[in-house]
Amino acid sequence: MEIEMKKVKSHVLVLSYPSTGHTNPMLQFSKNIASRGLLVTFVTFSYNHHKVIQAKEFLQWLKLPIQFECIPDSLPQDHSLDSNISSVVFQHMNNNFDGSELEQLIQRLNASGNAPPVRCIVYNPFLPWGRKVAQKMNISHAMFWTQSTAVFNIYHHFYKGETWDSRKITESVSVAIPSLPELKLGDLPLSFTSTVHKLQNYLHQMDGLSDVSWVLGNTFYELEPETIDYLTSRMGVPFRSIGPCIPSAFLDGRNPHDAQVGADPWKATDTVKEWLDRKPPSSVVYIAFGSITILSAQQISELALGIQCSRQNFLWVIRPLPGHEDIGEFFPAGFVEETKGRGLVVNWCVQLEVLSHPSVAAFMSHCGWNSTLEALSLGIPVLTLGVWTDQTTNSKFLADVWMTGVRMRKQEDGTVGREEIERCMRMAVDKTSQAGEELRKNALKWKELAKTAMSEGGSSDVNLNEFVNGVVAKAMQSSSSVPH
């Protein structure tokens, strides 16, 4: 890619963890700072580089100064990113890398003479060696936080010395964390009910915070003001909201050509849009659980029965379970025939295009943070079915804090039953439902606030400009300190 270096103010290297939920917001962030004059080198790994590179042609068309580099990782590229594989990747990324590959890459980039030297590393906290390389090479660095500020505060609270023993905490006991509402055990990230070792892996994301120049959060100030203020003023964490990291065409509209999400793990078809175009406004429940979450066979069956009994239009994105090629084997008898015409089942779709479609009334979601932000930013109420990681916390906030979600009640075995699914789907679509009307009203409020945050002069726009100006200032300081 030819880059007009005269227009480049400085050079930032963005180090992304190799999963879609981390890559996409960091890629959108890269677009946002590149449009403000920074050269970005986006670094990923062999494991997902073939997916990331799909965005390269689109970015060239946008004429943004973004270049791609890949670090070999020896992981196979042909398996799905389910929760089990995700754990394998996490361990591999932390056990088999010491940062030397990244250091060599930066040395090569700096010696090429084709671009300004790297002046800042934006690293994912799942890759702590990115921070260590920055310190070793005396480069300023920023942590990119891909979850909510509330989850950051939860981890930070316990990292700072609060003791935790899940065996002594029951569902009836509240956890008090400054700037957050009352939380029960089921409201905390799932790592708090895991082994001590696994929880420590998450808490170690907070390592080195006193040395970072910025913590960049994929959120917007108006969504989590108390927590952002608390972290910044009381805890001394330089937290800056720079989101939602969503293509401009779906959000603020400042760049209508920025309409591609990024590194989609599977190819979508045109069938979805054509089908949605034929449905009445606000009549479809969109059902999807992300790129990693795998539901149990029992939960899939209960979902299908609830969907069938609801008699509502639905678009269901579902992938085959490991070891099963035909997802239909988990559907109840007659499901396909009973839902013909009002339902569409696909393996993958472009989620932002679906959520922005006028026929969509609600989103039944696992509540990963990207999906949560997308629903908030596009004004779509959420029927929550949190499964793991931060999804339970996001479900809590959608339902009880932002008031734009319904936390579907789980049964004793942990599944959401067919009656609850039917009830929630009917309520979300019913125009006469007072509860549904409240959800829709609140959802539209957050949509406007998200748009304002990313518009010129908005809270996130100001923070992005502050980051860019800070990088440029540090680069000038570094240049002036080099003897001539």
The pLDDT tens digits for 314-369 are 999 987 666 666 767 778 889 989 999 999 999 889 999 999 999 999 999 999 99
Tell me whether residue 101 is in a domain: yes
Claim to verify: residue 111 and residue 252 sit in the same structural domain? yes
Report d(CA 62, CA 257) in Å as an integer. Answer: 7
Total count of domains within the chain: 2
Structure-block tokens of residue 358: 């006028």
Task: DSSP letter for 5, please.
Answer: G
251 in the same domain as 155: yes
Question: Same domain, yes or no, for 469 and 352?
Answer: no
Angle ∠(385,388,394) on CA atoms, nearest 5:
60
Out of 89-93, 99-103, 223-227, 429-433, least confident range: 89-93
In 3-state terms, what secondary structure has residue 70? strand
Q: Where are the alpha helices (DSSP H) in 184-332?
A: 196-203, 225-229, 271-277, 297-310
Looking at the DSSP assignment, which residues form a beta bridge with residue 71? 45
Confidence of residue 110 (pLDDT cuts 50, 70, 90): very high
Same domain, 137 and 223: yes
Q: How confident is the model at residue 45 (pLDDT cuts 50, 70, 90)?
A: confident
Task: Name the 3-class secondary structure at 366.
Answer: coil
Residues 256 and 111 in one domain: yes
Same domain, 158 and 105: yes
Portion of the chain with pLDDT greater than 70, in percent: 85
Residues 117-169 pLDDT 10s: 999 999 999 999 999 999 999 999 999 999 999 999 999 999 987 767 665 66
Residue 213 tokens read as 């120049």
- Asked if residue 384 belongs to a domain, the reply is yes
Sequence-distant contacts of 455-462: CB under 8 A, at least 24 apart: 455/252, 455/254, 456/254, 458/220, 458/252, 459/220, 459/221, 459/222, 459/241, 460/220, 460/221, 460/241, 460/242, 460/243, 460/244
pLDDT in tens, 52-62: 777 666 666 67
For 417, the domain range is: 271-449
Clarify whether residues 248 and 293 are in a common domain: no
CA dist 417 and 409 (Å) reads 8
- Confirm whether 476 is domain-assigned: yes
Evaluate if residue 78 carries a pLDDT over 60: no
- Of 79-88, 144-153, 283-292, 379-388, which gets the smallest average pLDDT? 79-88
Q: Are residues 74 and 221 in the same domain?
A: yes
For residues 244 and 329, state if they share a domain.
Answer: no
pLDDT category at 82 given cuts 50, 70, 90 is very low
Peptide bond just before 238 cis, omega within 30 deg: no
SS3 call for 66: strand
User: How far apart, in Å, are the Cα atoms of 13 and each of 260, 464, 466?
Assistant: 21, 16, 17
**What mean pLDDT is reported for the chain?**
88
Instruction: Quote the pLDDT of residue 52.
Output: 77
Residue 236 located in a structural domain: yes
In a domain, 430, yes or no: yes
Report pLDDT for 388: 82
What percent of the chain lies above the pLDDT cut of 90?
Answer: 63
C-alpha to C-alpha distance for 436 and 429, rounded to whole angstroms: 7
- Tens digits of residue pLDDT in 439-483: 999 999 999 999 999 999 999 999 999 999 999 998 888 766 554
Query: What does the block give as tokens for 96?
Result: 């088999």
Q: Are 295 and 410 in contact (CB under 8 A)?
A: no
265 versus 420: which is more confidently predicted?
A: 420
187, part of any domain: yes
Report the pLDDT value the prediction gives residue 1, as an integer from 0 to 100. 46
Whether the pLDDT of residue 182 is over 50: the answer is: yes
Residues 375 and 462 in one domain: no
At 270, list the tokens. 């045109």
What burial class does residue 409 get, using C-beta atoms within 10 Å of its C-beta: 0-12 exposed, 13-18 middle, 19+ buried? exposed
Q: Can you tell me whether residue 115 is helix, strand or coil?
A: coil
Residue 340 and residue 360 share a domain? yes
Which CATH number belongs to the domain containing residue 297 in this structure? Answer: 3.40.50.2000
Q: Is the pLDDT of residue 484 over 50?
A: no
Return the amino acid letter for 54: Q
- Both structure tokens of 178: 């400054």
Give the Cα separation of 314 and 287 in Å (integer): 7
Query: pLDDT tens, 389-422?
Result: 899 999 999 999 999 999 999 998 889 999 999 9
Q: What angle, 0 to 180 degrees and rounded to 10, lies between the N-to-C axes of helices 369-378 and 20-34?
A: 50
Evaluate whether residue 68 is within a structural domain. Answer: yes
Do 471 and 437 belong to one domain?
no
Name the amino acid, one letter, at 392.
T
Residue 183 per-residue DSSP state: B
Please give the backbone phi and psi of residue 12, each rounded to the nearest 5 degrees, phi first: -120, 135
Q: Which residue, chain included where needed, has tokens 């479609």? A: 357
In the numeric block, the tokens 């010395």 are attached to: 161
Asked if residue 266 is part of any domain, the answer here is no
